[in-house]
Amino acid sequence: MIELTEKRAHFIRQLITDELASGKHQSVVTRFPPEPNGYLHVGHAKSICLNFGLAQEFKGICYLRFDDTNPIKEEEEYVNAIIEDVRWLGFEWHAMTHSSDYYHELYDFAVLLIKKDLAYVDSLSMEEIRAYRGTLQESGRESPYRNRPIEESLDLFARMKAGEFPDGTHVLRAKIDMQSGNVNMRDPVIYRIRHAHHQRTGDEWCIYPMYDYAHPISDALEKITHSLCTLEFQDHRPLYDWFVDNLPVPAKPIQTEFARLNLSHTVTSKRKLRELVEKKAVSGWDDPRMPTIRGMRKRGYPAAAIRQFCEVIGISRSDSVIDMSILEECVRAELNRTAKRALCVMDPIKVIIENYPEGKVEVLKPVFNQQDPDSETRELPFTREIYIERSDFMEEPPKKYFRLSPGAEVRLRHAYVIKCHEAIHDEQGNLIELRCTYDEKTLGKNPEDRKVKGVIHWVSCANAYPVTVLEYDRLFNDPNPGREDDFFKFLNHDSLKVKQAYCEPALAHQPIGEVFQFERLGYYCVNESKEGRVSIFHRVVDLKDTWGKIG
Ligand code: ATP
Ligand code: MG
């Protein structure tokens, strides 16, 4: 069982602690920089918890900064979803900013780079630039435009901005080193022409900065102290530093990389997640099987469980795959603490309690959560005819079987001890009904003269509330479906089972999103209501990890 104790040590937490102690920094300023081109997933949650979490912990600040340097792909829908998802995870930003807030500064800095002979307008095509760049084995070649006069570059760059040229005719490149062993340093493109409407700046600009240029400068303008990013940006760090060192920016942020989160049995790339949505392998970005924040939220994963998961997996610099069962264990640990308990029978067999008066209804009032004795109570009717789970009865039980069998006694949760006298079968020999008696002195307490070990769940037949139950399973059968382009072949086609169940009547009126522990079965979330009455539940997670054994 996972428990959240104190914060786990990790190298970034240590780094900040040391820097604050030595006086290198007086405070911590971080940012979370999503590109609004899709919905956030569990990998982003790791980055959010790290950036916002560290700022919180060290009483610093964290910005939510939209990386909206690409005018074509970004949509308002994603921006709003990201805002909602970060808040739902439990974080609040110092300020919400956009890379596009800095377009004027970015432009002025680009002009300055040209003046310092550290940037030039290149008129090769994108394909030529790519070919000239060389490879890891082979150094790059200088563009014939590399040494055009500064005045000429200044003039062309101004005219690029003024809209005189069509897309693709010129770019602005940093003048660094075409021989560098690091391909990122071979005169990277920093501006390109794009006659495209931008969701925030409209038609003001027809040149747009590249991420590698906009990112370090935005960080510096916001005086970010710790620019935390995933390991794939490690090779970009010299470029990050180059911009910060060569421009008169107000701060010098330091980039520190950490390993991205890879979660087993799912994919965490926006492109692949979009493919699942577009090809209708799932019902949408918020399908409860999706590793998106919306998906996990709809599934009924508490935000606290996701934060806990991000703490438990820690932060390191080596790539690894985290097993999905760790996330599920965090969900169980949190729900075990917070979820209301209720009774629901999935596969009913009828029990008739022969010595209980016909027509009598006793309304029991157990609390919803025994972990919290002050929690609200609900009305639980007990009657002569009840349903129990078919699997809680055995005609010929093995030793140490503590549930119901002929001649044996069992406790009904919150109610009485009953004893089975007879099992009734139909003509084909199928079990259809059990005849029992109850011990009226055992309501809520054990008999004094004998031990009754087993406790089972039940619902009153006359008061049972029928619901549909969706049982979600993992979306992929393979632990690492993302390793192949054709990851659809790893889809688990049994990831949704639909069942009918009978639950206690108090569950008829519950809000969508409320999670219950159906005792002895698992955690279930209200999925849908019709005319104010719950019609569908879905399974959040089962009570125990059953995947560990299988694979
Ligand atoms: P994807 O790979 O899904 O397209 P991305 O990295 O392009 O995601 P961004 O919107 O640029 O998505 O990510 C915002 C922030 O989240 C970045 O700082 C990025 O490093 C971080 N991030 C993205 N995926 C992960 C992950 N799997 N683990 C940890 N951090 C991540
Ligand atoms: Mg990115």
**Model pLDDT, residue 549:** 41
**Model pLDDT, residue 155:** 98
- pLDDT tens track for 232-270: 999 999 999 999 999 999 999 999 999 999 999 999 999
**What is d(CA 281, CA 490) in angstroms, rounded to the nearest whole number?**
12
Question: In angstroms, what CA-CA distances link 245 with 150, 205, 316, 487?
Answer: 21, 27, 27, 43
Out of 230, 264, 480, give the residue to mutate to test ligand 1, the one with the largest number of ligand atoms within 8 Å of its CB: 230
178 occurs within a structural domain: yes
Judge whether residue 455 has pLDDT over 80. yes
- For the record, the structure tokens of 532 come out as 């104010």
**Model pLDDT, residue 218:** 98
- Write a three-state SS string for 247-273: CCCCCCCEEEEECCCEECCCCCCHHHH
- pLDDT tens track for 328-376: 999 999 999 999 999 999 999 999 999 999 999 999 999 998 877 788 9
DSSP string covering 350-403: EEEETTSPTT--EEE--BS-TTSTTSPB--EEE-SEEEEEGGGB-SSPPTT--S
131 occurs within a structural domain: yes
**What is d(CA 406, CA 515) in angstroms, rounded to the nearest whole number?**
35
Find, among 440, 442, 420, the residue nearest to 360 by Cα.
Answer: 440
32 occurs within a structural domain: yes
**What is d(CA 351, CA 156) in angstroms, rounded to the nearest whole number?**
87
**What is d(CA 264, CA 548) in angstroms, rounded to the nearest whole number?**
12
Say if ligand 1 is within 6 A of residue 65 CB. no
Say if ligand 1 is within 6 A of residue 474 CB. no
- Indicate the pTM of the whole model: 0.94
Q: Give me the chain's average pLDDT, please.
A: 95
- For the record, the structure tokens of 131 come out as 């070919």
**What is d(CA 188, CA 176) in angstroms, rounded to the nearest whole number?**
8
Say if ligand 1 is within 6 A of residue 274 CB. no
Domain at 161, CATH number: 3.40.50.620
The answer to whether the annotation marks 442 as part of a ligand binding site is: no
Take atom 18 of ligand 1 and give the residue whose Cα is closest: 229
Take atom 10 of ligand 1 and give the residue whose Cα is closest: 34
Tally of CA atoms within 13 A in the half-sphere of 36 that contains its CB? 28
**Model pLDDT, residue 372:** 78
Is residue 457 within 8 Å of residue 388, measured between CB atoms? yes
Starting from the CA of residue 269, give the closest ligand.
1
The three-state secondary structure class of 305 is helix
108 occurs within a structural domain: yes
Is residue 289 within 8 Å of residue 495, measured between CB atoms? yes
The three-state secondary structure class of 101 is helix
Is residue 206 within 8 Å of residue 163, measured between CB atoms? yes
**Model pLDDT, residue 3:** 53
**Model pLDDT, residue 544:** 85
- pLDDT tens track for 26-54: 999 999 999 999 999 999 999 999 999 99
Judge whether residue 229 has pLDDT over 80. yes
Averaged over 5-22, what is the pLDDT? Answer: 90
The answer to whether the annotation marks 260 as part of a ligand binding site is: yes
Pairing assessment for the beta strands 254-258 and 226-230 based on DSSP bridges = parallel
510 occurs within a structural domain: no
Confidence of residue 486 (pLDDT cuts 50, 70, 90): very high
Question: In angstroms, what CA-CA distances link 139 with 135, 180, 185, 407?
Answer: 6, 7, 11, 85
Averaged over 170-183, what is the pLDDT? Answer: 98
DSSP state of 442: G
Ligand 1 centroid to Cα of residue 326, in Å, is: 21
> What residue type is 165 in one-letter code?
F
Sheet of 344-345: strand order equals: 340-342, 515-518, 522-530, 533-542, 465-472, 496-503, 344-345
**What is d(CA 451, CA 340) in angstroms, rounded to the nearest whole number?**
28
Judge whether residue 551 has pLDDT over 50. no
Sheet of 119-122: strand order equals: 119-122, 171-174, 189-193, 207-209
397 occurs within a structural domain: no
Find, among 526, 390, 388, 409, the residue nearest to 460 by Cα.
Answer: 388
**256 Cβ contact list (under 8 Å, min separation 6):** 12, 15, 226, 227, 228, 229
Confidence of residue 429 (pLDDT cuts 50, 70, 90): very high
Question: In angstroms, what CA-CA distances link 107 with 161, 238, 353?
Answer: 9, 21, 82
The answer to whether the annotation marks 211 as part of a ligand binding site is: yes
469 occurs within a structural domain: no
283 occurs within a structural domain: no
Look up the domain containing 124 and give its range: 11-258
Q: Catalytic positions, please?
A: 35, 260, 270
**Model pLDDT, residue 373:** 78
Domain count, the chain: 1
Say if ligand 1 is within 6 A of residue 366 CB. no
Place of tokens 């969701």: 199
Starting from the CA of residue 315, give the closest ligand.
1
The three-state secondary structure class of 525 is strand
- For the record, the structure tokens of 495 come out as 């990831």
Is residue 32 within 8 Å of residue 65, measured between CB atoms? yes
Confidence of residue 550 (pLDDT cuts 50, 70, 90): very low
Take atom 27 of ligand 1 and give the residue whose Cα is closest: 43
Say if ligand 1 is within 6 A of residue 44 CB. yes
Is residue 442 within 8 Å of residue 411, measured between CB atoms? yes
Judge whether residue 547 has pLDDT over 80. no
Number of residues in the chain: 551
- For the record, the structure tokens of 494 come out as 């049994």
Say if ligand 1 is within 6 A of residue 316 CB. no
- For the record, the structure tokens of 374 come out as 């002050």
**217 Cβ contact list (under 8 Å, min separation 6):** 102, 105, 106, 109, 243, 244, 247, 249
DSSP string covering 54-84: HHHHTT-EEEEEE----TTT--HHHHHHHHH
- pLDDT tens track for 283-336: 999 999 999 999 999 999 999 999 999 999 999 999 889 999 999 999 999 999
Residue 148: burial class (beta carbons within 10 Å; 0-12, 13-18, 19+)? middle
Place of tokens 């492109």: 271
The answer to whether the annotation marks 148 as part of a ligand binding site is: no
DSSP state of 284: S
